[in-house]
Amino acid sequence: MPERGHVLPALGLVAELVRRGHRVSVPATDAFTAAVTECGATPIPCTTTLPRDLPASLFEAAKLALTEAESAVPQLEELFRDDRPDIVLWDVAAWAGGVLAHRLGVPNVVLEPFLVSNAHWSLAAEVVPARTFGPDAIRFFTEVHRFVGSALPEFTAGARRRIALFPRQFQPEGATFDERYAFTGPALTERAFQGTWTPPDDRPVVLATTATQVCADAARGMPWHLVTRGTVLSPAPNVETHETVPQLAVLRHAGVAITRGGLAGVMEALHHGVPLIVVPHMTDQRLNGQRVEELGLGVLLDTVTVAGVRSLVEQLTSDSAISARVDDMRRMIHRAGGSAFAADVVEEELAR
Q: Are residues 16 and 145 in the same domain?
A: yes
Q: Are residues 177 and 204 in the same domain?
A: no
Query: For 248-254, which contacts have Cβ atoms below 8 Å and span 24 or more sequence positions?
Result: 248/188, 248/190, 248/191, 248/194, 248/272, 249/191, 249/194, 249/195, 249/196, 249/197, 249/198, 250/197, 250/205, 250/207, 251/207, 253/197, 253/198, 253/199, 253/205, 254/205, 254/206, 254/207, 254/227
User: Which pLDDT does position 215 carry in this prediction?
Assistant: 98
User: Which pLDDT does position 171 carry in this prediction?
Assistant: 98
Cα–Cα distance, 73 to 68 (Å, whole number): 9
pLDDT band at 129 (very low <50, low <70, confident <90, very high): low
Tens of pLDDT, residues 10-69 = 999 999 999 999 999 999 999 999 999 999 999 999 999 999 888 988 889 999 999 999
DSSP 91-154: ETT-HHHHHHHHHHT--EEEEE-S----SS--HHHHHSPP----HHHHHHHHHHHHHHSS-HHH
Find the range with the poorest average confidence among 115-124, 183-192, 216-225, 283-292: 115-124
pTM to 2 decimal places? 0.95
User: Which pLDDT does position 138 carry in this prediction?
Assistant: 86
Q: Are residues 257 and 342 in the same domain?
A: no
Average pLDDT, integer, range 158-184: 96
Q: Are residues 318 and 201 in the same domain?
A: yes
Q: 3-class SS at 72?
A: helix
Tens of pLDDT, residues 243-280 = 999 999 999 999 999 999 999 999 999 999 999 999 99
User: Which pLDDT does position 133 carry in this prediction?
Assistant: 64
Cα–Cα distance, 249 to 269 (Å, whole number): 11
Instruction: Give the chain's domain count.
Output: 2
Q: Are residues 127 and 218 in the same domain?
A: no
Q: Are residues 341 and 329 in the same domain?
A: no
User: Which pLDDT does position 132 carry in this prediction?
Assistant: 57
Residue 88 belongs to a domain with what CATH number?
A: 3.40.50.2000
pLDDT band at 93 (very low <50, low <70, confident <90, very high): very high
Instruction: State which residues form the domain around 19.
Output: 4-185+337-350
Tens of pLDDT, residues 227-246 = 999 899 999 999 999 999 99
Cα–Cα distance, 119 to 321 (Å, whole number): 33
Q: Are residues 18 and 122 in the same domain?
A: yes
Q: 3-class SS at 175?
A: helix
pLDDT band at 136 (very low <50, low <70, confident <90, very high): confident
Cα–Cα distance, 335 to 166 (Å, whole number): 11
> Is pLDDT at 210 greater than 70 in this prediction?
yes
Q: Are residues 110 and 92 in the same domain?
A: yes
The DSSP call for residue 303 is S
Beta strand 108-112 pairing with 161-164: parallel
Find the range with the poorest average confidence among 5-9, 54-58, 107-111, 177-181: 54-58
Q: Are residues 34 and 133 in the same domain?
A: yes
Q: What is the average pLDDT score of the chain? A: 94
**What is the torsional sign of CA 41, 108, 20, 168?**
positive
Q: Are residues 164 and 224 in the same domain?
A: no
Q: Are residues 287 and 344 in the same domain?
A: no
Q: Are residues 18 and 138 in the same domain?
A: yes
Cα–Cα distance, 345 to 341 (Å, whole number): 6
The answer to whether 323 and 275 have CB atoms below 8 angstroms apart is yes
Give the number of other Cβ atoms within 10 Å of residue 145's Cβ. 14
User: Which pLDDT does position 53 carry in this prediction?
Assistant: 87
